[in-house]
Amino acid sequence: MSLVLGALLAIPQAMAGDAAAGKAIYDGKGACASCHGPAGAGDGLAAAALNPKPASFAAGAFRLDTDGDGQTGTDTDLANVIKNGGGKYGGNPAMPGRADFSDAEIANLVAYIHTLKK
Ligand code: HEC
């Protein structure tokens, strides 16, 4: 009985990203803040040299539609860009692909990016 309950509880936890863990990567080893800015406004220290510049996560403005569904900024789009980089989807190749991150780490980053919207 408790085994069944445990398995049921484990499923949603595995799917949903952990925004706090995503923030740690964003500010830390991902160095995302250096381009995207500490609050995701697209104003990181390195952003001045980028063209096109990163869209503002704070404004909820996303440019890249990676799966052709006519929408930008879906969880799938964000995860694809983080994993494979911007160039693969017709965007700025300065956005580095992080295929070295696990799917869980990428899900955590996606969850964190959603929290940046003001
Ligand atoms: C060297 C600078 C740089 C770094 C570091 C960087 N990015 Fe980006 N990122 C960009 C640029 C430039 C774009 C804009 C691409 C475009 O719109 O053509 C972008 C776009 C994106 C997008 C797509 C947004 C949209 O408009 O659809 C996501 C998501 C994203 N970055 C997440 C991240 C995450 C998460 C990290 C850290 C793991 C990161 N980026 C690190 C420069 C960077």
Atom of ligand 1 nearest to the CA of 53: 12
Rounded distance, CA 74 to CA 13, Å? 20
72-86 pLDDT per residue, tens: 999 999 999 999 999
105 φ, ψ to 5°? -65, -40
| Domains recognised in the chain with CATH numbers | 2-115 (1.10.760.10)
- Asked if residue 11 has pLDDT above 90, the reply is no
Closest residue (by CA) to atom 43 of ligand 1? 95
User: Is residue 4 pLDDT above 90, yes or no?
Assistant: no
Nearest protein Cα to ligand 1, atom 7:
95
The per-residue pLDDT for 16 is: 83
| Chain centre distance of CA 93 | 16
Nearest CA-CA partner of 98 in 32, 37, 8 = 32
Say what the pTM is.
0.90
